Structures are given as C-alpha cells and as structure tokens.
C-alpha cells in the first residue's frame, strides 16, 4: 500500500517511465534502472504503450501537441503507484512543466496527480525509500553533472549522496558546476554552434579535473556531451547514474 512523503507517492510497487531517450539511445540505462530498483526490493511494471513525457513539444512552444502527449501519459500511468524516470528532465516535465501547460485546462488535476507520483530515480531512492548509502564499489575518479531541469529539486544532492557512498569512488568538483551542458533539446538543433560551444566549455571544466567518468542523471545531457566526447576524443567516458550503481554491485 502506498504512503506519502510530502504528498508524494512512495511504494515499492512502481511504474517505470523509460522515456523516449531510453527507447532510442539508452536501452542499457532502462535495464540498469530495473536492476537497481529490483536490488532495492521494488516490483516494477512497465506499461508498453508509453511514449513520451511531452517535453519536446512543450519546449518548442507547441503546447497543444504537448498536452496530447501528456494526456496519453496520464492514461498509461494511471493509478496510485509511483512513476520512476531515470531522467531529471522528464521527471521535471511531469511535476512542473505539465502544470504550466495545463493551467487553464479542465483536467489539470489529473495531470498534477501524475506529477505528484513522478520521481527521478536518485530522488526516489534517497528521499522516497530513505536509502542514502549504496552498498557497492566503484574505484574510479568521477565528475557529476547536474542537469538544468534538476536544479531546484533534490535529485542532484541525492545522486551525489549515493555516489560519494560508493567504496573507492572519488567525486571531484568541477568549475562552474551549474553551467548548462548546451543541449536544451530543440535549442541544440536551432542553435547548433552555440550549443556545441557550451558543451565544449562544460567538458573543459570537467577534464581539467581529470576524471575517468562523467556521470549524470539526465540522458539528454549525456547524449549531447557524449557526442562531443566521441567526436573530439575527449579523455573521459560518460555514464548514467543507474549504470554506475548497477556496475558497483557486480
């Protein structure tokens, strides 16, 4: 049976919102998320007709199209179980962006209800389930990137708590840590040169600390930064937080 923490649903029976980025690029992140949640004793349901959180259309200004996608998500993830997303931006869309898009809509309450049940993965582990230390080993030097959409939430602090608890893991501080990676969804397509320049500046601040891995809880950031890393042979590897937690248990 579900309980609530600050009016947010908490239960070990959860729904997985794998996000379109998992579907298109990061299936391994979805798998790692399942294994991490199962390690914590969660029972996971994956609605196969899920599509997207609606954020791409929302950010592009096409709110009618975004609302159509969000309404589908509300139907797919109906009920009372927590919805877990391994993406800070998708989670933020559900509990923040949707309230803006539906402000004058009659089904605002339905949308807000889903938002109250939606958690970013690390936030759910630490602030939902109360697990602040991860029983694994990851003897590597890492840098952590907090996405713009995760600011103002507890996700960044939660992720860092888990990473710093890993045996042998050294988390280095990077310069201008709040600087955007430059992705911004449609921004990277509309302004590719500015986007790439912002990404290179972020990577310069990261590589100055000589980490082996750049870790984030947001796949949009990893997609952008990972592309720059591969094209420019930057000496760092990109990993999602869920992949690190899973690898640490091996």
pLDDT digits (tens, 9 = 90+) for 128-170: 999 999 999 999 999 999 999 888 899 999 999 999 999 999 9
Which residues in 55-77 are b (16+ Cβ under 10 Å) and which e?
Answer: bbbbbeeebeebbebbbebbebb
In degrees and rounded to multiples of 5, residue 31 shows phi and psi of -65, -45
pLDDT digits (tens, 9 = 90+) for 25-36: 999 999 999 999
Distance CA 169, CA 34 (A): 23
Q: What is the pLDDT of residue 159?
A: 97
Sign of the four-CA dihedral 181, 186, 187, 189: positive
Element of type H or E holding 55: helix 55-59
Strand bridging mode 8-10 / 3-5: antiparallel
Question: Which residue positions in the chain have pLDDT lower than 50?
Answer: 1-5
In 3D space, the residue among 38, 20, 33, 19 whose CA is nearest the CA of residue 242 turns out to be 33
User: Both tokens of residue 126?
Assistant: 């630490």
Q: What is the pLDDT of residue 176?
A: 87
Distance CA 31, CA 61 (A): 32
Q: What is the pLDDT of residue 69?
A: 98
Name all domains of the chain by residue range, CATH numbers in brackets: 3-128 (3.40.50), 141-248 (3.40.50)
User: In Å, how far from its chain's centre is CA 41?
Assistant: 21
Q: Where are the alpha helices (DSSP H) in 77-191?
A: 88-92, 98-101, 108-117, 121-123, 155-165, 186-190
């Amino acid at each position: 049976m579900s309980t609530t923490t600050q009016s947010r649903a908490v239960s070990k029976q959860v729904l997985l919102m794998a996000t379109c980025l998992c579907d298109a690029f990061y299936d391994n992140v979805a798998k790692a998320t399942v294994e991490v949640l199962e390690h914590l004793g969660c029972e996971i349901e994956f609605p196969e007709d899920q599509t997207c959180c609606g954020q791409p259309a929302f950010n592009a200004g096409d709110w009618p199209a975004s609302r159509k996608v969000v309404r589908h998500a509300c139907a797919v993830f109906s009920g009372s179980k927590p919805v877990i997303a391994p993406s800070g931006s998708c989670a933020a869309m559900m509990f923040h962006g949707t309230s803006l898009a539906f402000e004058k809509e009659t089904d605002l309450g339905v949308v807000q209800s889903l938002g109250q049940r939606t958690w970013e993965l690390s936030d759910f582990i630490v602030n939902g389930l109360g697990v602040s230390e991860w029983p694994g080993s990851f003897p590597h030097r890492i840098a952590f990137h907090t996405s713009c959409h995760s600011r103002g939430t507890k996700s960044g602090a939660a992720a860092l708590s888990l990473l710093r608890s890993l045996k042998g893991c050294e988390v280095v501080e990077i310069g201008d840590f709040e600087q955007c990676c430059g992705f911004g969804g449609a921004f990277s397509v509309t302004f590719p040169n500015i986007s790439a320049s912002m990404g290179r500046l972020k990577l310069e601040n990261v590589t100055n600390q000589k980490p082996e891995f750049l870790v984030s809880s947001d796949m949009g950031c990893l997609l952008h930064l990972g592309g720059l890393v591969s094209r420019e042979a930057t000496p760092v590897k990109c990993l999602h937080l869920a992949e690190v937690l899973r690898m640490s248990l091996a």
